Chains A and B, each alone.
Chain A
Amino acid sequence: MLEIKNLRKTYPGGVQALRGVSLKIENGMFGLLGPNGAGKTTLMKCVATLLEPDDGSITLNGLDVLHQKEDVRRVLGYLPQDFGLYPSLSAEQMLDYLACMKGITERAERRRLVGALLERVNLASVKKRRLGSYSGGMRQRFGIAQALLGAPKLLVVDEPTAGLDPEERNRFQNLLAELSGEIVVLLSTHIVSDVTALCHDMAIIRDGLIVQHGTPREAVDAMRGKVWEKIVPRALLDKYRSRLPVISANPAIDGIRLRVLSEGNPATVYSAGDGFVAVEPNLEDVYFSFVTAPEAQSHLAGSGSGSHYGR
C-alpha cells in the first residue's frame, strides 16, 4: 500500500504545486486525474523519489519513500511523462543497461527478461535497431517495457497513453490491467476514459489539492440523477453558463449540448426553461464538475451531497 500524507511542494518561483496532498492507495490500478498544472507530475516525481517535497511523508509497504530512496527504487517502475532514450543504442542494449541499473545482474536472466519484455511490447523484431529510428509509439512502448523491469511493486506511469493511437492505447490498457493485480499502479492522466477502463480507485487533483477521491463507480453514482442535458442554441451558451452550474458544453449538430449539475430539473431549480433531460452520469461529468465547474460541485456540497476531500 502507498500512503501519502500531507505532501507539500512549493517551487523556487513560488508556485505551490502540492498543498497538502494525502492519499491511501491500495494494490491495484489507481488513477490520478487532473488538468495540466494541477500537480500530477510533481506528485508522481515525489513518489518516484526524483523530487524532494517540502513537507509530508510517503510510505510504500512500510518503506519511507523520502528517506529510503534506494530501497524504494528497487521496487519501483517509473515511466515519466516526457522521457527520452539514447538514440544511438539499440532497444536491446538500452533495456539491458536499464535492467542492470535496476539490479538484475545475472546475465542469462537479464537476457531472458529483456527478450520477453521486448516481445511483450512488440519490439522484438526491431530490438537491434537504434532507438533513434523508433516512432513515437515504439518509444512509448519501450518506456513501458523498461518500467516493468525487475518486477516492481510500485509502478508510476505519468500520462503513458499520450501520443498513442487508439489501437496501441487499447493494448497498453490491457497490459496495465494485467499487471495491476498484486502491485500498486499509479496512473496519472488527463484522459478520463483510461481511468474509467482501468482503475478501481481514483483521485482528482486540482491546484495542488485532491478534490475527489474514491472509486470511479462511487463518483459516478454520487452524481446519478443530478446530471441534466439540453441542446441549446450556440448564441445562448453564455447566458446559460452565467445562470446554471454547467459542467460541460459540447458541440452538437443542432447547437450545443449542455450538461448541467443540479439536484433537480434546472428548469425548475434555476428557471432555466424547458427541455432539460436527466441523463446517466459518467466519469467525465465527475471530472469536469471538479475541474472546470467547481462552483457546480460547491453548489451541490451546499445542498448536502458533498465531495470527498481525501479519505
Chain B
Amino acid sequence: MQYAQLVQLAFASLQANVRRLTFWVFAAVFVLLALMLYRGPIGFAGMTASGAPLATNADYAIAAMLAAFSFFLMHFTATLCGDPIVLDHRLRLAPILRGTPLSPTTYVLGRFLGGYLSLLAIYGVYVAALFLGQFLTPAETKLTLPWRLEPYVRHSVWFLLVPTFFVGAVSFAIGTLSRSMRMVYVFASALLVGWFLLLSSMSDSALRELAYFEPSGQIWLGEKVAKNRGNAWLNEHSIAVDWGFALNRLALVVLGCVALWITVKRYPRLDTESEAPPATRALLARVWAWFRGAQPQVADRYEVWSGHARVPQVLPTERGVGLWLATLWSAFVTELRLLASERSLWIMIPIVMLFAGATVQSFQGAFNLPLYPVSSEYAALMVWPLLMFLAGTTIFYTGEVFHRDEASGVRGILYATPASNGAFLLAKYGAMVALGVSMALLAALTAMVNQFVRWHGLDRAPHVELAPYVVLGVHVVLPAILLLCALALVVNVLVRQRYVAYFVLLALGAAYVWWVGIQGHRSLLWNPLAVGHWRYSDLTGLEASARALGWHHAYWAVLLVGGLALSNWLLERTSGAVRAALHPRAIASRPVPALLTLLAACGATWLGFEIRERQDVRGSKAEAEARALYLEDTYLAELQQPRLTYDDVDLDVVLRPEDGEVDVRGTLVLTTAWPEAVETAYFTIDPLHEIRRFELEGARGPLRQDGEVVRFDLVRPLSRGERVTLRLDWTCKIDPGLRRDGGQVASFVLPSAVFLNSFSGELLPIPGISPDLFLRDEERRREHGREKLSTLRERVPGEFVESAFGTDVAFGFRARIEAPKPLTVLSTGLRTGLDELGERQRSTWQSDGRVRTFAILAYDYEAEKRGGDQVFFHPSHRYNVETILTALDDARRTFGASFAPYPHEELKIAEFPRVADFAQSFPTLMPYSESIGFLTQYDPKSRFVDATYFVTAHEVAHQWWAYVLHPGASLGAQVLSESLAEYSAMLLIDSKRGERARLIFLRREEDTYLRQRNADKEPPLAKLENEGQAYWYQKGALVFTMLERRIGRARVLEGLSNFIERWNRRATSAQPSYPTIRDLITELKRTHKERDLDWFYDQWFDQVVIPDLVVHDATVRRNGSTWTVDFAVENVGTGRAVVGVEAITGEWNLDELEGDEKFRASEPLALTVDAGKTVRASLSSTFAPERLIVDRLYECIDFDRTNNVVELGAPDEAATPASAASRPN
C-alpha cells in the first residue's frame, strides 16, 4: 500500500469537492436545518410537545437526529461515495491515473476515502452547527440543556460514521464495478424502500426484535431507549449502547469493509474481463458482465471499405403535422429503447414487485389483523405508497432521460436537426409516462397475483376484480403520473442542471408532504395528487365526486399543458438563447409555445377561481382556524349557560344523494334540563344550509345568525318542564363531491352512501354552542398562541351535571325518510312502514323508547337477521357476518344480564363501505367500517384478538355505556363510556372465548397503552378530557380488570349494575342530572366496604403510575417431593403493584393455541410490592420448576415484562442465584 499517495489522493478529492458550489449549498442547508431545530418551526420527536419538551441537545435527541439525518440522506451519501471512480471514467481520467505508478489498491481506496471524507466534511458541518446551536437562545416552545460536547462526538460515531460508512462503501463498490451511478441510485432506493416496507410490515413485537438488525439505529433508539419513556427521562439520561447494538454497528463496518475488499480485488480486472468472448461465459459471468455494462468491441474491417457506395438524394419532408408526428413517434420509440436498455431499470422491476407485494401484505385492519384480499382494498390502499414510490423514480429517471443527450454527447447532433422542441420534449415526457404506467401496471399485477394466492391460501375461490384497479388507475394513478412527469420535466428544463433539478424537486416534494400531509392544507388548488380527497367509494359512486375530480383534473391538466408549453418555449436548444426566446421578435416567429403558456395560465386562473367557488366552500384551513378562534372568543362563555334540549323530534327527510343534499322538515319540541331557566336559546348549525324556515315558538323576533351560531332571545325564560316548538325546513348542503380538506368524515351524502346523525349539525340544529366549533387541536392552538382549551371541568358533588353526549333529556323520535330505491335506509328505532314512490321509497322510523341521538344511514345493503339482531353489509363482504351476529347475540344477553335490560327491540350493525374509518354507536344502530370488522381476517390459532367479535361487543356495550347510562359532562366522562365499553367487551371475550383470548386481549391492551401514552402529558383517568384513546380505551379497561382482581368480578358487576340503575332513574326524573367518574367510584366502593382499597382508586384514577417489576435472586431448594423457590421481586417503577408469582415448568406461550402439555404452574403467591421496594418471598411447588414468573395473568400494568421471568437453576442446596437484568425506569 502506498500510504503517502493514498493520503494525497484522498485529500485531493476532498479539496476538489470542497471547491464545488454544491458542497457549500448543501452545507448551508444543513446548517440552516440544524439551527432551525433550536430556533425554527422544525420539531423532532416531541421537541415541541407541551409539558416536558425533549431538549434539542438531550443525549437521545442528538442520537435520534443523527440517526435519522444520516439514514434519510441515503441518496446523498450514495452519490458522494459512489461517484469518484465513475467520475474518473466519465472524465476519461482513469486511464491516465492508472498509467502512473499508483497501485490499483491505492487508487481505489484513495478515491473512496476522498469521497467519504468529503461526505464527513459536510456532515461534520451539520454536527458542528448542532453543537453551536446550543449557545442560541432556544425558541419559546423548545428546550436546550446546558451545553455539552461529548454526546455529539459519541453519537457521531455510532449513528453517523458507521451507517454512512456502510452505505458509502457499498455504493462505492456498486458504482465502481458497474461504472454507473444509476445502479448506485437504485441501490440507495432499494435500501430505503426495503427499510420502509420492513417497518410497515412488522408487528410491534417483531419491531422489538428487529431493533438489533436495523441499520439506521432508529428502531433501536425507539424500542430500546425511548419506548415508554417520557421526555423528562430522556432529557436526564445518557444512552448506554448495549452489546446487541454494538454488534449491529460492527456488522455494518464489516459489511462495508467486505464491499471495499471486493472492489479492490475486482477493479484491476474489469477491463481485461470484458475482452473475453461472451459465448464462453457462464450465466453468472454474463450477469457480472451485464452488471458492469461491458460491451465486446466490434472488429473494424476497414480493409473491405470500398468507399464508393452511392448515397441517394433524399430530401426532408415538408413541414406540417405529419412531419411533427413522425418525428415525435420516432423520438418516442428511441426514448423507449434507451429506457429499456437501462440496466438499473431491470433491477427496479423486482423492487417494484417486491414493493407492491410487501405493501399489500402489510395492510392491516383493526388490531393488526390481516384483511381479506378484496380488490377494492388492495387497489385503494396501494395507491399512496405506489405514488410515493413513483414520485421518487419519476424525479430520478426524468433527470436521467432529460440529461442523457448531453451526458452521452448526442445533444449537439440532435439539436442541429430540424426536429421541433415539442417532439424532443414530448418524446421524453411520453417515455417517462410510459415508464410510470408500466411500473403501476406491474405493481397492480403483483397485487392481483398476491390476491389470487391469498384467496387460495384461504381455501376460497379467487375473487380478483379488475374494476377497482382500473377505476383508481384512471382517476388517481394516471393523472398523478402525468403530473409528476410533467413537473419533473419542467423543472429540469428550467433549472438545466441535473443535480440542482433533483434538489428542487425533492424540496418541492418535501414541501408538498409537509403542507398537505402534516399541515393538512389540502385545498384542491395546491394538491395536485388530491391527497386526502377521495376514498374508494367516492370514485365508485361517482357523479358528484366525478364532477369535483373533473374540475381538479381539468385544473391540473391545464397547468400541465402550460408547463410543457413553457418548457417548449424556454428549452435552451441554442446555448444562451433563453433570454432571446423572451424577445418579442422571437415570440412572434414561434408564437405557439408562448401563446399556449399564456392561455394555460389564464385557464388555470379561471379554473382556480371556479374550484374555489365550487369546492372550497368552507374556505382554506387558515380561514377555518381564524373562524374557530373568533367563535371561541365570542361564544366560549355560553358553553356553561343553560341550554335547550330536544324532547320530541318529528322529521320528514328527503335524501337526494345525487345532488349531495338532504331536505329536512321537522317539528321539534324543546325543553331544558338545567335548573336555571333559559333566556337565550343558541343553536349550532351548518352555515352552508339553505334555510327556508327556522322558527322558535316564544322567541322574540326572528333568528339572529352568525355563521354557525343561531340565536333566539326568548320572550319568557324557559324553565324545567316547560316546552317550546321549533319548526324547521331546510336543505342540508353537504360539501359538493369530494370533501374539503380531506378531513375525518362526520357526515356524508354521496351517491353511493349516506350517513347523517343528530349531533353533527347537518340534519338538525344542535341546541346550545357545540364545543366542536372551537379550535381544539393543541398544536394548532399553540401556533396561534392559545392555551389548551378545556371544555369540561371537575364537578362538585350535588351540582347539576349536564349530559356529555347527545341531548340533556331523552326524546321521542319519528322520521319519514325518502330515498332513491336502490338504497336501503336505516335509522334509529324500528321501521314501521315502507311506501313505494316510483323510483323512490319512503320508510317510516320510530324509536321504541326515548333516545338521545339518532342516525340515518343509506346504502345498497344486503342484510342478515337473527331475531332482533341484524347485520347490513356490502353484498360481497359476507365473510364475518356470522361472527357479528353471534357477537350481537352474546353481547345483548351478557350485558343485559350483567348491567341492565336492553331497552330496545332491535340491534343493527351496518357497514360503512369505505366512506369512513371509524365505528360509532347510536341507539339500536351501530355503523362501522369494513376494515374494523367486515373484512378483518381472524385465525383462532393466531396471537391476535378477534377484532370483529371484539368491536361488535364494544359497540353493543355502548348501548349501555352511553345510552342506558348517560355520562355527565365532567372530566373523566370518557371512562364512563369508552373504558366501560372496552371492559365490557373484555368480559364477553372472557366468558365466550376463554382465558387465552382474555390474556391475549389484556396483553394487547397493555402494549397499546404503553406504546401510545405520552409519559410527560398523561393525565389521570379522572382528569381525562380528549387527550388520547390509549387512556380511555386501554388504560381504562386495564384498570377495571385490575379492580376485578382486587374485589372480584361479581362485585364490579354489582357496582356497575347499581350505578346504571341509580343514574338512569335520575336521568329520567323531573330533575335530571348525570353521573361523573366520582359517582362511579363511590358506587364501586359501596360494594366492598369491608376492604380498604382507597389506594387503588387513588393510584389508578387520580395518579399516573406504572409499576415495573423485576424478579431476581431466585434459588430452588428441594425437600423430597417439594421444591421451594426463594426469590426477590423489586418494583423499580412507580405505584403499588399487586401481582401473583408462580413457579412454572414447560413452555408458557400465549401465542400457541395448544399449550405445552408439560406446562404446570404452582399456586400463585400474591405479592404487594410498592414503588422502590423489594419483597423477598418463597413459594413451593410439587414439581421441579424451571422458571419463576411474575404476573403471568396480567393482573397489573407492568412497564417491562421482560424482567418478570427468571430461569431457575438446578434444585440443590448450592444453587446459584439467578437474576433478570435490572433497568432503570
- Chain A residues with a Cβ under 8 A of chain B: 45, 48-52, 67-71, 73-74, 76, 78-80, 82-89, 93, 96-98, 100-106, 109-110, 112-113, 116-117, 119-122, 125-126, 129-130, 132-135, 137-138, 143, 146, 148, 150-151, 167-168, 171, 174-175
The 6 tightest CB contacts between A and B, nearest first, are A84-B409, A103-B316, A122-B305, A88-B341, A100-B330, A119-B309
On whether the beta carbons of B338 and A98 are closer than 8 Å, the reply is no
On whether the beta carbons of A85 and B296 are closer than 8 Å, the reply is no
| Bound complex: CA A119 to CA B416 (Å) | 24
| Bound complex: CA A79 to CA B417 (Å) | 11
Q: Which of A51, A74, A80, A112 contacts B316 (CB 8 A)?
A: A74
B295-332 interface mask toward A, CB cutoff 8 Å, 1 = contact, 0 = none?
A: 11110111011111111111111010011001100110
On whether the beta carbons of A171 and B307 are closer than 8 Å, the reply is yes
| Bound complex: CA A133 to CA B275 (Å) | 11
| Bound complex: CA A288 to CA B320 (Å) | 50
For A12, the closest partner residue in chain B by CB is B576
Chain B residues whose C-beta falls within 8 Å of the C-beta of A79 in the assembled complex: 413
On whether the beta carbons of B301 and A101 are closer than 8 Å, the reply is no
On whether the beta carbons of A78 and B416 are closer than 8 Å, the reply is yes
B329-342 interface mask toward A, CB cutoff 8 Å, 1 = contact, 0 = none?
A: 01101100110010
For B301, the closest partner residue in chain A by CB is A125
Q: At the interface, yes or no: B1175 with Cβ under 8 Å from chain A?
A: no
On whether the beta carbons of A80 and B413 are closer than 8 Å, the reply is yes
Q: Which of A74, A87, A126, A167 contacts B298 (CB 8 A)?
A: A126
On whether the beta carbons of A78 and B585 are closer than 8 Å, the reply is no
Chain A residues whose C-beta falls within 8 Å of the C-beta of B258 in the assembled complex: none
B393-415 interface mask toward A, CB cutoff 8 Å, 1 = contact, 0 = none?
A: 00000000000100011101111
A279 CB to closest chain B CB (Å) equals 35
29 residue pairs from A and B, CB less than 8 Å apart: A45-B575, A48-B416, A49-B415, A49-B416, A50-B412, A51-B574, A52-B575, A67-B585, A69-B574, A70-B420, A74-B418, A78-B416, A83-B409, A86-B404, A88-B338, A89-B334, A89-B337, A89-B341, A101-B418, A102-B418, A109-B314, A122-B301, A122-B304, A122-B307, A125-B304, A134-B297, A135-B297, A148-B311, A151-B313
For A158, the closest partner residue in chain B by CB is B412
For B574, the closest partner residue in chain A by CB is A52
Q: Which of A50, A76, A93, A109 contacts B337 (CB 8 A)?
A: A93
Q: At the interface, yes or no: B577 with Cβ under 8 Å from chain A?
A: yes
| Bound complex: CA A97 to CA B423 (Å) | 12
Chain A residues whose C-beta falls within 8 Å of the C-beta of B576 in the assembled complex: 51-52
| Bound complex: CA A70 to CA B337 (Å) | 27
| Bound complex: CA A50 to CA B571 (Å) | 12
For A90, the closest partner residue in chain B by CB is B337
Chain A residues whose C-beta falls within 8 Å of the C-beta of B381 in the assembled complex: none
B571 CB to closest chain A CB (Å) equals 12
Chain B residues whose C-beta falls within 8 Å of the C-beta of A130 in the assembled complex: 295
On whether the beta carbons of B310 and A50 are closer than 8 Å, the reply is no
On whether the beta carbons of A52 and B409 are closer than 8 Å, the reply is no
Given A49-B574, A98-B417; A85-B307 close (CB under 8 Å): no
Given A49-B574, A50-B574; A132-B413 close (CB under 8 Å): no
On whether the beta carbons of B408 and A87 are closer than 8 Å, the reply is yes
Q: Which of A85, A116, A126, A174 contacts B310 (CB 8 A)?
A: A116
A159 CB to closest chain B CB (Å) equals 13
| Bound complex: CA A119 to CA B305 (Å) | 8
Q: Which of B311, B327, B331, B580 contacts A113 (CB 8 A)?
A: B311
Chain B residues whose C-beta falls within 8 Å of the C-beta of A51 in the assembled complex: 574-576
On whether the beta carbons of B577 and A52 are closer than 8 Å, the reply is yes
On whether the beta carbons of A67 and B589 are closer than 8 Å, the reply is yes
For chain B, the bracket of interface size reads 35 or more
For B575, the closest partner residue in chain A by CB is A51
A182 CB to closest chain B CB (Å) equals 11
Q: At the interface, yes or no: B419 with Cβ under 8 Å from chain A?
A: yes
| Bound complex: CA A278 to CA B376 (Å) | 95
On whether the beta carbons of A103 and B418 are closer than 8 Å, the reply is yes
How many A-B residue contacts, CB cutoff 8 Å?
A: 174
A8 CB to closest chain B CB (Å) equals 13
A26 CB to closest chain B CB (Å) equals 21
Q: Which of B323, B412, B580 contacts A80 (CB 8 A)?
A: B412
On whether the beta carbons of A116 and B311 are closer than 8 Å, the reply is yes
On whether the beta carbons of A102 and B412 are closer than 8 Å, the reply is no
On whether the beta carbons of B410 and A85 are closer than 8 Å, the reply is yes
B114 CB to closest chain A CB (Å) equals 27
| Bound complex: CA A113 to CA B423 (Å) | 22
| Bound complex: CA A125 to CA B573 (Å) | 34
On whether the beta carbons of A137 and B580 are closer than 8 Å, the reply is no
On whether the beta carbons of A150 and B314 are closer than 8 Å, the reply is yes
On whether the beta carbons of B412 and A78 are closer than 8 Å, the reply is yes
| Bound complex: CA A105 to CA B315 (Å) | 10
| Bound complex: CA A135 to CA B300 (Å) | 7
On whether the beta carbons of A120 and B311 are closer than 8 Å, the reply is yes
Chain B residues whose C-beta falls within 8 Å of the C-beta of A116 in the assembled complex: 309-312
For B316, the closest partner residue in chain A by CB is A103
| Bound complex: CA A113 to CA B1149 (Å) | 79
A169 CB to closest chain B CB (Å) equals 12
| Bound complex: CA A143 to CA B409 (Å) | 12
Given A70-B418, A83-B412, A125-B301; A113-B314 close (CB under 8 Å): yes
A71 CB to closest chain B CB (Å) equals 8
Chain A residues whose C-beta falls within 8 Å of the C-beta of B296 in the assembled complex: 133
A103 CB to closest chain B CB (Å) equals 3
On whether the beta carbons of B307 and A120 are closer than 8 Å, the reply is yes
Chain B residues whose C-beta falls within 8 Å of the C-beta of A103 in the assembled complex: 316-317, 319, 323, 327, 417-419
On whether the beta carbons of A150 and B315 are closer than 8 Å, the reply is yes
| Bound complex: CA A109 to CA B414 (Å) | 20
Known: A48-B416, A135-B297. 6 other contacts (CB 8 A): A50-B416, A83-B409, A102-B418, A103-B316, A103-B319, A129-B298
On whether the beta carbons of B300 and A137 are closer than 8 Å, the reply is yes
Q: Which of A86, A112, A119, A121 contacts B338 (CB 8 A)?
A: A86
| Bound complex: CA A101 to CA B208 (Å) | 59
Chain B residues whose C-beta falls within 8 Å of the C-beta of A70 in the assembled complex: 418, 420
Chain B residues whose C-beta falls within 8 Å of the C-beta of A105 in the assembled complex: 317, 322-323, 326-327
Chain B CB count within 10 A is highest, among A74, A78, A79, A97, for: A97
A177 CB to closest chain B CB (Å) equals 11
Chain B residues whose C-beta falls within 8 Å of the C-beta of A132 in the assembled complex: 295
On whether the beta carbons of A52 and B580 are closer than 8 Å, the reply is yes
Chain B residues whose C-beta falls within 8 Å of the C-beta of A80 in the assembled complex: 409, 412-413
Chain A residues whose C-beta falls within 8 Å of the C-beta of B585 in the assembled complex: 67
Chain A CB count within 10 A is highest, among B331, B414, B417, B586, for: B417
For A117, the closest partner residue in chain B by CB is B311
Chain B residues whose C-beta falls within 8 Å of the C-beta of A126 in the assembled complex: 298
Interface residue ranges of B370-397 to A (CB < 8 Å): none
| Bound complex: CA A151 to CA B717 (Å) | 100
A292 CB to closest chain B CB (Å) equals 27
On whether the beta carbons of A101 and B295 are closer than 8 Å, the reply is no
| Bound complex: CA A68 to CA B316 (Å) | 16
For A150, the closest partner residue in chain B by CB is B316
For B421, the closest partner residue in chain A by CB is A70
Q: Which of B298, B302, B337 contacts A134 (CB 8 A)?
A: B298
For B409, the closest partner residue in chain A by CB is A84
Interface residue ranges of B416-431 to A (CB < 8 Å): 416-420, 423
| Bound complex: CA A138 to CA B308 (Å) | 17
Chain A CB count within 10 A is highest, among B305, B313, B334, B416, for: B416
On whether the beta carbons of B314 and A82 are closer than 8 Å, the reply is no
Chain A residues whose C-beta falls within 8 Å of the C-beta of B573 in the assembled complex: 50
| Bound complex: CA A50 to CA B575 (Å) | 6
B868 CB to closest chain A CB (Å) equals 71
Chain A residues whose C-beta falls within 8 Å of the C-beta of B307 in the assembled complex: 120, 122, 171, 174-175
